[in-house]
Chain A
């Protein structure tokens, strides 16, 4: 029993360790000038997708609901925080402003999580997937026609370009399909540290999700996944815990969105389409449903790979496809799983023998 506690704690710390190790390696490479411009550009998006994949795993892996609207929550977080950053650009120094922007993104996405979750979690399986998919598209199209600006009279919101009129000296922030520009320029002084901030956010996300999963609430969430009727029969409020998982996941997706939008000088809403949601789902499924470390590793490999393979031009997508299939087999084929557990036992046995000797 005590061993088991230690085992989960140990597992959590291994995951944090991997993140810190990767960060250290990247930092060393970059300080010695061995990191290409291409790779440097990938670092922050890697953190974004890692956070997104880990948070989606909370819903797909632990709560057992297939959500295809993750990009929608990222979108909400990205835009709300970018608006916040622009509006407070003159009022606050960049560090507290960025921290607040992250909170704004998380809270707004979380609120959307509750609002969407209440009706959607009445549905199951495919229906839930379809409605969350629709949510992502609706959010995308809504923001696409939204104009937001600020002048001395306050904040102005319009849905058409013609109806969008500001007093002289006003600032147009969100310009419909053109999106928000210049967000990253607001943070010139800390832009260099965005990768560090991203890694810290990845660690915070892992901390929240891992601790949540290994707590009383986490057990309740998993029990509703394994058997809804049995969970109710032992007095667990199924709706409450499904909603909790959904909301936390949405809020963390919002954080990923904040990081994404603040890293770009041009933020267009068209990137948050269903392809992005599916991409994140692919990371979760291939990394292992319910396996947080797996989601993280899958996100890193599968996001970086197509970019790194640009040199191979035409063979790029072919190699990507092969890697996808190999990962799928490695994680899910019974033969591969048996082989893996044998290897783990062998490794453990070897270690024990060494200790004995």
Chain B
């Protein structure tokens, strides 16, 4: 069964159909790329998948479960986590606490337990600390655990955002331009990290990217979006050599 199944997904903003009849099938364990020129509607698709926008039409199924029109919180609980094009970290919180915030729904104790410092508080906090450090180690951020997230260098902020998303134990990870603003070395490192996450966490990933080297390097399949519609989809090598795609990107 497909991990993510999207059919006829559309959204209308007034007179503009930003996404029109979008469809997508991602199998479990796939690393899938969503590309397209600026303004094609890629981030809008992400916002539809995560419930930021409610679709005008269409259906979204995650692992067989219908999640169309659910709230962002419910969709995260159902198993979709994301990162943002413009980094959205909890800047005034330590790196460790950013990840621990991601663990919020998996390690629970009541408000009263926290205020009264009952034994359960110490037990669960210890487990959270261990789990969060384990995730931070994967991203080589464990040494920065006590720094404020806003003080991290740019590349590490991007990584921390992925770490925080993974802390919610998603089935599907959405990465919105993870390599934006990175230098070639950082991009290479990021590719390794994404591959590692894919294997280590048995993750299914959908990513938006402009860096064709990254897309060609790690994505198994691609969907190309142009003016809100699917231009073509399929194996990466075929799609990248499709003359229509080249035209969409470079013009006639």
Task: Report which A residues bind B (CB closer than 8 A).
Answer: 1, 3-5, 207-208, 211-212, 214-220, 222-223, 225-227, 229-237, 244, 290
Contacts and interface: CB of A to CB of B under 8 A. Distances in A.
Nearest to B167: A234
B73 interface: yes
Contacts of A231: 90, 101
B81 A227 contact: no
Contacts of B89: 226-227, 230
Contacts of B139: none
A225 B77 CA distance: 21
A337 to B, nearest CB: 14
Given A211-B116, A215-B114, A217-B114, A234 B104 contact: yes
A235 B90 contact: no
Contacts of B107: 216
A272 B96 CA distance: 41
B142 to A, nearest CB: 9
B108 A216 contact: yes
B192 interface: no
The secondary structure that dominates the A interface is helix
A235 B79 CA distance: 10
Contacts, number: 109
Nearest to B97: A219
Interface string B166-186: 011000000000000000000
B77 to A, nearest CB: 5
Interface of B: 50, 52, 71-73, 76-77, 81-82, 84, 88-94, 96-97, 100-102, 104-105, 107-109, 111, 113-117, 121, 124-125, 128-129, 133, 145-146, 164-165, 167-168
Given A227-B90, A233-B50, A233-B84, 8 more contacts: A1-B133, A214-B114, A215-B111, A215-B114, A215-B125, A222-B90, A226-B89, A232-B72
A223 to B, nearest CB: 5
Contact of B117 (A211, A219, A222, A229): A211
A216 B109 contact: yes
Contact of A233 (B82, B92, B121, B146): B82
A276 to B, nearest CB: 27
B93 A208 contact: no
A21 to B, nearest CB: 23
A232 B73 contact: yes
Closest CB pairs A-B (n = 7): A215-B114, A235-B76, A226-B90, A230-B88, A232-B72, A223-B101, A227-B88
Nearest to A224: B90
